[in-house]
Amino acid sequence: MVNGMENVENIQIERITSSGREKIDDIVTRELPLTIILNNEELVTLLCTPVNLKYLAAGYLQSEGIITRYDEINLVTVDERRGVVRVETKEDKGLPSDTFYKRVLTSGCGRGASFYSFADVQKELKVESQLEVSQAALFNLVNEFQHRSDMYRDTGGVHSAAICDSEKILVFSDDIGRHNAVDKVFGECLMNNILTRDKLVLTSGRISSEILIKVARRDIPVLVSRSAPTDLGVRLADQTGITLVGFARGHRMNIYTHNWRIVSQNDGN
């Protein structure tokens, strides 16, 4: 297993197959309730895979618009045993006030809570990158991404996300929540000063509106999923200028929006 054993726990189960019942050793993916405490106030609790918790916290805060740059953060401390990440910002950010209560419980695994309005998103977020990627390069990335998503194969329980340039995967993360996996890779970029502009995001999970918004906030022009998008995900991709690719598996993919960024070999490039 590529991911090490900290993500999984060994248990004994009973397996039923057509040849009978037997007790066997098996593994299940770990789930940690992680509370993010922002400047001594409780912000949110996320159910997550207990790896890269700093990145998760930083990525989440950026996704929610609470911070935009890493240097706004003074200190991040992780207490994994107690399931707490404490973040101190330089300016006292406090909790988002009114908007805090206009929270959106997201549709997915590990269900986050988000604090933005959709109308604002469509007005404010525009991705204008002129990046083009060849079909062949994209299929290579999808293939590499699939090979790295080992934990899913082992436990059937996690999503993966990656930040890539058109050559290779730069940052990769697993999580039981598809939102968390995306926040983790963005948090890693934020903390390690990896620019997201002109990069691609790969994800195993469905593309609903919140995922699209996370990606648009980072000025990412190409979002590729192994799974399906929702109509709202497609509409937001269209409006924000993001090339949205779904069902990317083997040598197939669907391009939902702004298909000009994916160039065939024949188109030159």
List the catalytic residues.
109
Q: Is 92 in the site for a copy of itself (CB under 8 A)?
A: no
Q: Is 214 in the site for a copy of itself (CB under 8 A)?
A: no
Binding positions for a copy of itself, 218-237, rule CB under 8 A: 227-234
Q: Is 62 in the site for a copy of itself (CB under 8 A)?
A: no
Q: Are 211 and 205 in contact (CB under 8 A)?
A: yes
Q: Is 156 in the site for a copy of itself (CB under 8 A)?
A: yes
**Residue 84 amino acid letter:** V
Instruction: Tell me the CA distances in angstroms from 152 to 91, 101, 108, 175, one per residue in order.
Output: 40, 34, 16, 10
- All residues at 6 or more sequence positions from 145 whose CB lies less than 8 Å from its CB, including other chains: 160, 162, 164, 169, 172, 202, 204, 226
Binding positions for a copy of itself, 161-190, rule CB under 8 A: 175-180
What DSSP character marks residue 224? E
Task: Pick the stretch among 121-129, 165-173, 196-204, 255-263 that binds a copy of itself (CB under 8 A).
Answer: 255-263
38 three-class SS: strand
C-beta closer to a copy of itself: residue 178 or 199: 178
C-beta closer to a copy of itself: residue 104 or 194: 104
4 three-class SS: coil
Q: Which of 103, 144, 166, 198 binds a copy of itself (CB under 8 A)?
A: 103
Q: How far is the CB of 10 from a copy of itself (least distance, A)?
A: 10
